[in-house]
Amino acid sequence: MDYLKLSKGVAHALRHAPWEYELEMDSEGWVETEQLVMALRLDKQWDLLQAGDLSNMLDAADKKRYEIKDGKIRALYGHSFPQKIKKSPGTPPPVVYHGTPRHLVEQIMNDGLRPMGRQYVHLAAESDMAIMVGKRRDSEPVLLGIHAEMASKDGIIFYQGNNTVWLSDFVPSRYIYIC
Ligand code: HQG
């Protein structure tokens, strides 16, 4: 089983286009694991897929992208479809990070961090993680620091994605600095 490929298929279903798979998703992004398995099986490459393959995929992953609980599965972050997934507000570390390509820095320092194609802005608890995110788009990404504690005090809401990913609706530029 190619877990990387499977993870991309699951991301498409749970983060981007659940309707293509006729998934019934609740407001927190959960779907019945069995429903996802049946939907993915329609694709020939996964015609023998079992729920156990999904938990093995989670165990094999480099990042905690999904959560499986009580017969249900959900993506923890990364959603892009219009109906915004409900997240509970949390307390982020005092500073969080965001890695971005060089050509976007000026715009971000003017306009703030926007979710762009996703439901939330994605932030990292650790700077090395943010640099890795930035490297998806630029070999020498720029590391931005976000004064999350200060922003929280001023009413900006942060939500926990997983152990390292933090989410926010929008981060105004006054809390952002170039590291
Ligand atoms: C940029 C991966 C112009 C932002 C990663 C980024 C992450 C702006 C791009 C997760 C902007 C959006 C998400 C503004 C932000 N003007 N550009 N005002 N504000 N941007 O992919 O954070 O491996 O939607 O800097 O690990 O790169 O898939 O977000 O470059 O956690 O699990 O707009 O995806 O997770 O790009 O990545 P993305 P991201 P997985």
Ligand 1: residues whose CB is within 6 Å?
A: 63, 65, 78, 100, 104, 107-108, 111-114, 116-118, 122, 133, 137, 165
Q: Are 23 and 65 part of one and the same domain?
A: yes
* Region 69-95 average pLDDT: 97
pLDDT, one tens digit per residue, over 117-172 is 999 999 999 999 999 999 999 999 999 999 999 999 999 999 999 999 999 999 99
DSSP state string for 88-135:
-B----SEEEEEE-GGGHHHHHHH-B--TTSSSEEEESSHHHHHHHHT
- The region that residue 116 occupies, defined by phi over 0 for left and psi between -120 and 50 for alpha, beta otherwise, is left
Residues 100, 54 within the same domain: no
ipTM: 0.98
Cα of 44 from ligand 1 centre, angstroms: 31
pLDDT of residue 168: 98
Instruction: Verify that 45 and 17 share a domain, yes or no.
Output: yes
The CATH number of whichever domain residue 34 belongs to comes to: 1.10.10.970
Domain membership of residue 130 as a residue range: 95-178
Residue 101 shares a structural domain with residue 59: no
Q: How confident is the model at residue 7 (pLDDT cuts 50, 70, 90)?
A: very high
How far, in Å, CA of 123 to CA of 103, rounded? Answer: 19
Count of domains for the chain = 2
Mean pLDDT for 8-33 is 98
What pLDDT is stored for residue 67 in this prediction? 98
